[in-house]
Structure 1
Amino acid sequence: MTDRAAGVLPGLWQVLYSLGIFASRRLLPRSMFGVAVFYLLTGLGTLALIQGQRALNPWAMGLPFCVGQLLAAAVLYRTLERDHDAA
């Protein structure tokens, strides 16, 4: 794989991850739509703004993944687990 092709992997991963969440939205809480939008926007931003070797920087994928997973965890906790904690 060339460096140019490898440079799109972080952004492409984020876009595809968002599409997976969009496809599962009927089974997930309604608030997960925001998480999918977050991954889509960060993926498109990564593809548009970060080119070449800079795209392979671990922060280009690590930071959006960390923030997105924290958002997803917060949404799932708020919508699914809060009722169990109150009981």
Structure 2
Amino acid sequence: MARTGQLYLHEAMEYVVLRAGRPLPSGRIAAEINDQALFTRARAGSAPLQWWQIEIEARKFPMKFRLEGRDVCLAARSTRGEPRIAMTRSG
């Protein structure tokens, strides 16, 4: 996808999951990105981001994200090799 906003889609996804501090369903990530306008597409009048687009993007970046069902988790290490805080589902 073309870059038109301030963040690439995978950067916006990482931002949303980091702020939540836990894995989030792909639909919730899409809604947060749409609501906060963290990522916009190049084509004017494009439909809002959908859950399945989040999952496709997560699969493109296996060093950054993991999918657990429909939940998107951050990988244990950043793409720069820095350790991240382990995010596990509680409850």
Provide the TM-score with structure 1 as the length reference.
0.28
The structure where helix makes up a greater share of residues is 1
- Give the number of the structure with larger relative contact order, counting CA–CA contacts within 8 Å between residues 6 or more apart: 1
Q: Which has the larger radius of gyration?
A: 1
Provide the TM-score with structure 2 as the length reference.
0.27
The structure where strand makes up a greater share of residues is 2
